[in-house]
A and B are shown apart, each in its own frame.
Chain A
Amino acid sequence: QSALTQPASVSGSPGQSITISCTGTSSDVGGYNYVSWYQQHPGKAPKLMIYDVSNRPSGVSNRFSGSKSGNTASLTISGLQAEDEADYYCSSYTSSSTLEVFGTGTKVTVL
């Protein structure tokens, strides 16, 4: 089971919007609505930001939103803030023996 494909880096200025893509296959992203997104600051554990493609856990800013089209899921961060600078990982349930697969990770830089 190969990792889901994400861009290595995305950057934006404060206040702008950015979108991170997460491309898989019909066996994972495209086949199930179990796509999650995690934010990870250096030296910290990942934090759940989006689950089931587009749902936000309680306490997560509504500046974070998720969507999916075909085999590609996306995370959009609007009104970019300095605190959003972190690594972001998508994950998806998969029908393969692995059961769950992560994306390659994207480093978000706030310019």
Chain B
Amino acid sequence: QVQLVQSGAEVKKPGASVKVSCKASGYTFTSYDINWVRQATGQGLEWMGWMNPNSGNTGYAQKFQGRVTMTRNTSISTAYMELSSLRSEDTAVYYCARWNYKADYWGQGTLVTVSS
């Protein structure tokens, strides 16, 4: 069965960076894009960007341009999302999702807390 398993919760100080991983199983990792979505507590879903695991090509929401980097390691079927220059407003649950014009499978989410 298709599964996306994300890394555990993180606590970071303002200005630091965080790197969240998303390990895929149950399908061919390079056949579907991976998208990243975040959700602040009590707020809605916010699309951050996409990555094609086959080519490594990426596309980021304008809001995160310059601060976000999406990469992958195809040998271990794992996608990564790194967000830099963290501020308190980045405190949220970050999700990875398998994407083909729809997110049919989601990771369990990773809580990132930014606090001094």
Tell me which of B47, B104, B106, B108 contacts A57 (CB under 8 A): B104
- Cβ–Cβ contact B61 & A98, under 8 A: yes
- Cβ–Cβ contact A46 & B47, under 8 A: no
Q: B78: which A residues are within 8 A, CB to CB?
A: none
- Cβ–Cβ contact A45 & B45, under 8 A: no
Q: Indicate whether A102 sits within 8 Å of B44 (C-beta atoms), given known contacts A45-B108, A46-B95, A97-B62.
A: yes
Q: B50: which A residues are within 8 A, CB to CB?
A: 99-100
Closest to A47 in B: B106
Closest to A40 in B: B45
User: B residues 75-106 with Cβ under 8 Å of A?
Assistant: 95, 101-104, 106
Report which A residues bind B (CB closer than 8 A).
1, 3, 34, 36, 38, 40, 45-48, 51-52, 57, 89, 91, 93, 97-105
- Cβ–Cβ contact A104 & B44, under 8 A: yes
- Cβ–Cβ contact A48 & B102, under 8 A: yes
Tell me which of B46, B95, B102 contacts A52 (CB under 8 A): B102
Report which B residues bind A (CB closer than 8 A).
35, 37, 44-47, 50, 59, 61-62, 95, 101-104, 106-109
Known: A38-B45, A48-B104, A105-B44. 18 other contacts (CB 8 A): A34-B101, A36-B102, A40-B45, A45-B95, A46-B103, A51-B101, A52-B102, A57-B104, A91-B103, A93-B101, A98-B62, A99-B50, A100-B35, A100-B50, A101-B47, A102-B45, A102-B46, A102-B47
Complex Cα spacing A78 to B106, Å: 26
Q: B108: which A residues are within 8 A, CB to CB?
A: 45
Closest to A50 in B: B102
Q: A99: which B residues are within 8 A, CB to CB?
A: 47, 50, 59, 61
- Cβ–Cβ contact A46 & B45, under 8 A: yes
